[in-house]
Amino acid sequence: MAKLSKALAADLVARARAVRQRAYVAGSGFRVGAAVLGGSGAVYVGCNVENASYGLTICAERAAVCAAIAAGERELRAVAVVTGLQDPARPCGACRQVLAEFAPARGDLAVLLAGSGKAVARTTIARLLPDRFNFADIAKGRG
């Protein structure tokens, strides 16, 4: 399990919970907030942004990852995801793949999942997405 202090974990969940209020959910009404901890120690947030052309919807996790990468981060240590459900929900497959791209070369990316209740589920990206597709596979077989 990736290491993360209790205080840092609580801060990430709080930041994800706060940004969740900014979600643009004109289609579903299902707000999601995410906060990622970059290798530098900085935190970046994102919320889901829906679109009338449904397939263009961006999940909160990927919005947060994009903010981190645009700020110069290349390794992410942790992510917190908060929904309005009573119990913690799990990140979608697309977001697992995108988060895994930036998991630390050594170690793992901690995943904290929370809902409207106090429970915070803890897992890691390696558990959520074992054997992912990666650039090393592409390098083996171009053309």
Cα(73)–Cα(66) distance, integer angstroms: 10
Cβ 85 to ligand THU shortest distance, Å: 11
- For ligand THU, give the closer residue by CB, 61 or 73: 61
59 binds ligand THU (CB under 6 A): yes
Catalytic residue among 61, 73, 75, 101: 61
- For ligand THU, give the closer residue by CB, 95 or 110: 95
Element (H, E) at 114: strand 110-114
57 binds ligand THU (CB under 6 A): yes
* Number of alpha carbons in the 13 Å side-chain half-sphere of residue 115: 11
32 binds ligand THU (CB under 6 A): yes
Q: Is 101 a catalytic residue?
A: no
Cβ 21 to ligand THU shortest distance, Å: 14
Alpha carbon distances (Å) from 131 to 23, 40, 47, 78, 101: 31, 27, 27, 19, 12
Q: What single string gives the DSSP state of each residue in 20-39? A: GGG-B-TTT---EEEEEEET
Catalytic residue numbers read: 61
Q: Which residues lie near ligand THU (CB under 6 A)?
A: 25, 28, 30, 32, 48, 50, 57, 59-61, 91-92, 95
